[in-house]
Amino acid sequence: MWKLLTDSSADMPKSFYEENDIGVINLSCLIDGEVIWGKDKDLPASEFYAMMRNGAKPTTSQVNPEEAKAFFESYIDEYKEILYIGFTSGLSGTVNSGRIAAEEVMDEHPDVKIVVVDTLCAAMGQGLLLYYCNRMWKEGKSMREVADFAESNKMNVVHLFTVDNLFDLWRGGRVSKTSAFIGTLAAIKPLLHVNYEGKLVSVDKVRGRKKALSGLCDMMEEKMGSKKDMNKEMIMINHGDCIEDAQLLADMIKERFGFENFMINNLSPVIGSHTGPSLIALFFMGDIR
């Protein structure tokens, strides 16, 4: 049997990793140079986002090659085949650290095979791809079959985002302070997505939070195409610290498309450091990103 691994930027519930025996390596979040979330450190999402609302300025740290090598080596006594589903290279160097580490481990242990997939996905977009890979693992598919599936389908994972507070994006370096100020006065809510390079880009803007959530539904209808049956199985939603809005979006999607199965989870501090507590993110399978 082979081993399925990922990193914490998949932002899935801890219970998902534990129930499915998926190994996870953590990126880190720091405040004033001290790690508050990451390896051996945890912080409830509500506390983290409260700190942000009170003016904390978190920074983040990717996984380095040495950490990735130790992570892989912790599994090779039991597993000779490993598949690592990694955070987009468009936002982090973590997956490249994984590639470097995998080559070193395989050079030193010729009987080990490690495949690293740059998902070009983020948050529960990465998590959604991981979800399907895990299902295939449970079905007894080979590592090669699952890796090929991940590579063939990663560009079909659609990521749609909005924030209620433009200053969240300003703090994360995504917009200028002037744009955040003017947009806030005008009640502008941006609609963003992750493009084919795995980078977060703005695609539209509307006035008001409810219109923004409705706009995500409109974009879902536009992009979903032939993948509607696939989406009957699972839709994923991340939020910073605004569960009511996340549930409202799920209700909108259920009413419009009839989908019943949702996984909703907080955005972890690593990505949340750049997007803030008001973020809502929607992930599903589509014909186009």
Classify burial at 143, counting beta carbons within 10 Å of its beta carbon; exposed 0-12, middle 13-18, buried 19 or more. Answer: buried
Rounded Cα gap, residues 60 and 70, in angstroms:
20
Looking at the fold, whether 11 and 143 belong to one and the same domain comes out as yes
- CATH number of the structural domain spanning residue 116: 3.40.50.10170
DSSP string, 205-274: EEESHHHHHHHHHHHHHHHHGGGHHHHTT-EEEEESS-HHHHHHHHHHHHHHH----EEEEEPPHHHHHH
Half-sphere exposure of 31 (CA within 13 A, CB side): 16
Closest CA to 277 of 53, 20, 3: 53
Which residue in the block uniquely carries the two structure tokens 């892989």? 72
Per-residue pLDDT of the chain (289 residues; tens, 9 = 90+): 899 999 999 999 999 999 999 999 999 999 999 999 998 899 999 999 999 999 899 999 999 999 999 999 999 999 999 999 999 999 999 999 999 999 999 999 999 999 999 999 999 999 999 999 999 999 999 999 999 999 999 999 999 999 887 666 656 555 555 454 344 544 678 898 999 999 888 888 899 999 999 999 999 999 999 999 999 999 999 999 999 999 999 999 999 999 999 999 999 999 999 889 999 999 999 999 9
Looking at the fold, whether 209 and 243 belong to one and the same domain comes out as yes
DSSP string, 121-150: --HHHHHHHHHHHHHHHHTT--HHHHHHHH
Looking at the fold, whether 182 and 163 belong to one and the same domain comes out as yes
Looking at the fold, whether 105 and 59 belong to one and the same domain comes out as yes
Looking at the fold, whether 87 and 43 belong to one and the same domain comes out as yes
- Overall number of domains in the chain: 2
Closest CA to 170 of 180, 160, 156, 185: 180
Q: Which domain holds residue 193?
A: 156-285
- Max intra-chain CA distance, the chain: 61
Assess contact for 193 and 159: CB atoms under 8 A. Answer: yes
Assess contact for 105 and 84: CB atoms under 8 A. Answer: no
Instruction: Annotate 205-220 with three-state secondary structure.
Output: EEECHHHHHHHHHHHH
Whole-model pTM: value is 0.93
The token pair at 287 is 């014909």
Closest CA to 283 of 222, 209, 216: 216
Looking at the fold, whether 208 and 123 belong to one and the same domain comes out as no
- Give whole-number Cα distances, 255 to 143, 214, 217, 248, in Å: 37, 12, 10, 11
Looking at the fold, whether 90 and 207 belong to one and the same domain comes out as no
- CATH number of the structural domain spanning residue 268: 3.30.1180.10
Closest CA to 157 of 212, 208, 231: 231
Boundary residue ending a domain (155, 175, 206): 155
Classify burial at 53, counting beta carbons within 10 Å of its beta carbon; exposed 0-12, middle 13-18, buried 19 or more. Answer: middle
Task: Phi first, then psi: give them for residue 18, nearest 5 degrees.
Answer: -70, -45
**3-state secondary structure (DSSP) of residue 73:** helix
Boundary residue ending a domain (155, 175, 194): 155
